[in-house]
């Protein structure tokens, strides 16, 4: 028959050695753990597996603290490196010729004590010396180049100058456009001369562009290493034709109206972008969203078409053409100047062939 010991009371937990346990202090973390173990029925000396969710949460929290500390440390290092780099850049700006910007423009060593370096810095820079230091003497003959490239650029300058003057007397509206042309020709001093200079320079620019490209084909100047510049020239040809086409509508007379009508109707057959062109209907092109609609700003030649032609003719296409002209001239300079005929060797310069 089992008998209870006098020192053990009912409901009082026992320690592992049989001695009564002290009540757990709620403010003590260990005491809280003891209360939790007692509530779950786990003896004080035994271990119980911690739930996976608790372990994962603790691990995530520790990982977040570690990643935050790493991020702060990395940011501090990057900030210090950026500060050091800024100090170095500030030091280089004391001598502008040692900056990376200067070296990217003037790619020759700019040592002031060396006359050769000073001359090379001038001769090898397109801004300071437009033409190469050495060129083929046959390439600069007028009978070889016809001067078509330079004449075309000169006509572009004339068109820009006269076009700006014409803008002072022109309003791109259906009511005033044609009246402004009549006023310019009959009332403005030298107005008719100004308009004819602009018109004939436009026609001549188209002609000289074609002749320039014809000369390039005849002399083989489109070949290596000038393939890229040939493509730039083709783009400039297209832009020249677009300038001429958009200028047709600006007088708002019968010639301009029907020229733009025929030209934009041809645009309907543009592949993929025209409502009547190949693959156009398959791509969802209709008369109200194709390239013709975009050019006219509607489905007919009206005030929207006049305004769009004015903006493209006076602002859009000239800006794009100016950029491509700058690239064109730069590539001519970097490709060794104007391409000339194949170099001719004297008989004394030829190596003796073995028989």
pLDDT digits (tens, 9 = 90+) for 88-99: 777 767 777 667
SS3 197: helix
Rounded CA-CA distance 212/205 in Å is 10
Residue 36 pLDDT grade (very low, low, confident, very high; cuts 50, 70, 90): low
Rounded CA-CA distance 177/315 in Å is 18
Residue 255 pLDDT grade (very low, low, confident, very high; cuts 50, 70, 90): very high
Task: Please state which of the ranges 144-148, 261-265, 338-342 shows the lowest mean pLDDT.
Answer: 338-342
Q: Please check whether residue 151 is in contact with residue 208, taking contact to mean a CB–CB distance below 8 angstroms.
A: yes
Rounded CA-CA distance 332/334 in Å is 6
Both structure tokens of 161: 């100058």
Both structure tokens of 80: 């210090």
Residue 31 has pLDDT above 50, yes or no: yes
**250 Cβ contact partners less than 8 Å away, ≥ 6 residues apart:** 170, 172, 177, 256, 306, 309, 310, 313
Q: Please check whether residue 166 is in contact with residue 195, taking contact to mean a CB–CB distance below 8 angstroms.
A: yes
**What's the confidence (pLDDT) of residue 47?**
52
108 vs 228: which has the higher pLDDT: 228
| Angle 131-135-136 from CA coordinates, rounded to 5° | 145
Residue 276 has pLDDT above 60, yes or no: yes
Average pLDDT, the chain: 81
**What's the confidence (pLDDT) of residue 305?**
95
Residue 28 pLDDT grade (very low, low, confident, very high; cuts 50, 70, 90): low
> Which of 59-73, 85-99, 261-275 has the highest average model confidence (pLDDT)?
261-275
Rounded CA-CA distance 34/22 in Å is 11
Considering the chain, what percentage of its residues have pLDDT values greater than 90? 48
The DSSP element (H or E) to which 319 belongs, if any, is helix 317-334
**What's the confidence (pLDDT) of residue 27?**
53
**What's the confidence (pLDDT) of residue 51?**
57
Q: What is the chain's percent helix, strand, coil content, to nearest 5?
A: 60, 0, 40
Cα R_g (the chain), whole angstroms: 42
**What's the confidence (pLDDT) of residue 8?**
47
Rounded CA-CA distance 223/89 in Å is 43
Q: Counting Cβ atoms within 10 Å, is residue 252 exposed (0-12), middle (13-18) or buried (19+)?
A: buried
**What's the confidence (pLDDT) of residue 105?**
62
Q: What integer is the mean pLDDT of 158-170?
A: 97
32 upstream amide cis, omega within 30 of 0: no
Q: Please check whether residue 236 is in contact with residue 331, taking contact to mean a CB–CB distance below 8 angstroms.
A: no
225 upstream amide cis, omega within 30 of 0: yes
Residue 342 has pLDDT above 70, yes or no: no
Question: What is the 8-class DSSP label of residue 106?
Answer: S
Both structure tokens of 49: 């597996």
- Report all structural domains of the chain as residue ranges with CATH numbers, in order of start: 142-249+301-334 (1.20.810.10)
**354 Cβ contact partners less than 8 Å away, ≥ 6 residues apart:** none
Q: Indicate whether this model's pTM tops 0.75.
A: no
The CB-based long-range contact list for 32-35 (8 Å cut-off, 24+ gap) reads: none
**What's the confidence (pLDDT) of residue 16?**
46
Rounded CA-CA distance 313/300 in Å is 19
């Amino acid at each position: 028959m089992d008998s209870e010991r006098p020192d053990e009371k009912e409901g009082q937990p026992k320690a592992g050695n049989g001695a009564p346990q002290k009540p757990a202090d709620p403010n003590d973390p260990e005491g809280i753990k003891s209360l939790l173990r007692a509530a779950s029925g786990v003896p004080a000396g035994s271990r119980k597996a911690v739930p996976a969710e608790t372990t994962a949460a603790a691990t995530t929290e520790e990982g977040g603290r570690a990643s935050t500390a790493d991020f702060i440390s990395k940011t501090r290092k990057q900030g210090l490196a950026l500060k050091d780099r800024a100090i170095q850049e500030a030091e280089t700006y004391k001598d502008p010729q040692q900056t990376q910007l200067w070296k990217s423009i003037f790619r020759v060593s700019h040592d002031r004590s060396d006359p050769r370096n000073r001359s090379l810095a001038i001769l090898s820079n397109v801004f300071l010396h437009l033409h190469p230091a050495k060129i083929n003497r046959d390439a600069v003959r007028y009978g070889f180049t016809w001067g078509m490239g330079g004449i075309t650029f000169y006509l572009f300058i004339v068109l820009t100058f006269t076009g700006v003057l014409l803008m002072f007397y022109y309003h791109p509206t259906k009511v005033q456009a044609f009246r402004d042309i009549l006023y310019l020709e009959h009332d403005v001093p030298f107005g008719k001369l100004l308009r004819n200079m602009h018109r004939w320079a436009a026609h001549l620019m188209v002609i000289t562009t074609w002749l320039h490209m014809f000369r390039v084909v005849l002399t083989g100047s489109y070949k290596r290493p000038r393939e890229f510049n040939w493509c730039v020239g083709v783009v400039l040809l297209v832009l020249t034709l677009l300038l001429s086409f958009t200028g047709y509508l600006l007088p708002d007379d019968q010639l301009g109206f029907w020229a733009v009508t025929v030209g934009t109707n041809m645009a309907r057959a543009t592949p993929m972008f025209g409502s009547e062109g190949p693959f156009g209907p398959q791509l969802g092109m209709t008369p109200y969203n194709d390239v013709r609609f975009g050019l006219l700003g509607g489905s007919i030649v009206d005030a929207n078409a006049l305004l769009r032609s004015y903006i493209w003719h006076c602002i859009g296409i000239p800006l794009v053409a100016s950029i491509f002209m700058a690239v064109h001239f730069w590539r001519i300079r970097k490709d060794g100047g104007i391409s000339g005929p194949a170099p001719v060797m004297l008989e004394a310069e030829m190596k003796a062939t073995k028989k």
